[in-house]
Structure 1
Amino acid sequence: MPSASPVTATETLPLFPLHAVLLPGAPLGLRVFEPRYLDLVAECGRLGRGFGVCMILEGEEIGAPATPAAFGVEAMVEDFGTSREGLLTLQVRGARRFRVARTRVRDNGLLLGEVRWCEESAAALRPQHAAVATLLAELLDKIGGEHPDLGHASANRRLLEQAGWVGWRLAELLPLSDDQRLALLQEDDPHLRLDRLLHWMDED
């Protein structure tokens, strides 16, 4: 008798639905003022963990709990401060992708997701995608920022050989719609993500 397939355990993750898509490795600035999200930040700081960011499919960022997309990305807090209006500001960075199995709402209105983490492939870039890696290196050289001289430094050059990393950085920098970025989040294969990006660039 064949053995049953193993069931991947879920983990409870507080969710911060937004009209935006956070990508793995990408930075995002947030302003926090609703009590439920202030509670979220305090809890995550106390436990040393992140929270989930999902694109809103229905609803708004404030008020009643919104309907989130089934895929999202874990947000890790890198810095925080206070705005001129006295609001808490956060600088977060995308980490692991996840899929939401189900949601529930706390008494304070905070949305909790039972999530399963998505496996990330360490696949190498394929020859047919070499042009997009070259484009990415040129974009990063122009804007500087976190990855200056990426195309010239041998240690950093290895990042341009990773299909997943190249895809996420292009998705971050190119003028894509939130729906397009969400479609990439839903795709496990980094080569297929690059195929989609090439297709969208050809359409332009």
Structure 2
Amino acid sequence: VLFPHGPLPLRIFETRYVDMVKRCMREEVCFGVVLVSGGSEVGQPAGYADVGTTARIVDFNLLPDGLLGITCRGERRFRVIDRWREADGLNMGSIEWLDAASPETIRVPAEFRHLADLLRRVLPELGDVYSGLEPRYDDAEWVGARLIEILPLALEDKQSCLELTDPLERLALIAPLIKRADEPVD
């Protein structure tokens, strides 16, 4: 599950995705990322979440195993309003935006400041995948998204958080999870 501004490293090996990456790079466009919800993306049938995030390719390299590695950053959330499969098997869709192109920043309120402080301590320890992010520890949307990305939650729970439109509601859902993780085990 990809959130706006979040990192997404991918290994590309299927022809349809190699072609998609070429097109995205050539035309300087994003592609959509949605959660596969049941089945398998490679085999039929698979279900897909209706809400996803556009991803922009920001880096690529040849991996030691010969596959193409790309690093993407999430940009904007969208809702799929129509979907179809191309002849090469690539899933396509028509979308509507769920976020403004430049959403207004909602500051992290005092009651959730401990979440931003925790993220400030943890994020540098997570390695290269987060090293290119510009920290926005005062932004409730950014803090909530990064925490959901790194918390060990089921993908369906992460998807539910992606679908929330209120960043403060997302922080309110995260706070008890962090509190429980801090409690000593008897």
TM-score bracket, shorter-length normalisation: 0.7 to 0.9
Task: Give the match for residue 122 of structure 2.
Answer: 139
Task: Give the match for residue 20 of structure 2.
Answer: 40
Task: Give the match for residue 14 of structure 1.
Answer: none
The 5 Å alignment of 1:22-41 reads 22-41=2-21
The 5 Å alignment of 1:28-177 reads 28-64=8-44, 66-119=46-99, 120-143=103-126, 146=130, 159-177=136-154
Equivalent in 170, 174, 183 of residue 197 of structure 1: 174
Equivalent-residue separation in structure 1 for 2:3 and 2:97 (angstroms) = 14
Change (3 A) 1:143 1:110: closer
Query: What letter matches 1:178 in structure 2?
Result: L
Consecutive unaligned residues in structure 2, runs of 5 or more? 182-186
How many matched pairs?
A: 176
Query: What letter matches 2:93 in structure 1?
Result: G
3-state secondary structure, aligned to 2:111: helix
Equivalent-residue separation in structure 1 for 2:142 and 2:98 (angstroms) = 15
Consecutive unaligned residues in structure 1, runs of 5 or more? 1-20, 149-154
Equivalent-residue separation in structure 2 for 1:139 and 1:52 (angstroms) = 28
Equivalent-residue separation in structure 2 for 1:136 and 1:98 (angstroms) = 26
Greater Rg by CA: 1
3-state secondary structure, aligned to 1:197: helix
Using the TM superposition, give the Cα deviation of residue 71 of structure 1 relative to its aligned residue in structure 2, in angstroms.
0.9
The one-character-per-residue Cα deviations of 1:149-203 (angstroms, maximum 9, x if unpaired) are xxxxxx96xx222111111121122222212211111001000000111133345
Using the TM superposition, give the Cα deviation of residue 141 of structure 1 relative to its aligned residue in structure 2, in angstroms.
4.9
Using the TM superposition, give the Cα deviation of residue 86 of structure 1 relative to its aligned residue in structure 2, in angstroms.
2.2
Aligned-residue sequence identity (percent) comes to 35
Q: Is the 8 A contact 1:72 1:99 kept in 2?
A: yes
3-state secondary structure, aligned to 1:199: helix
Output the aligned Cα RMSD.
Answer: 2.3
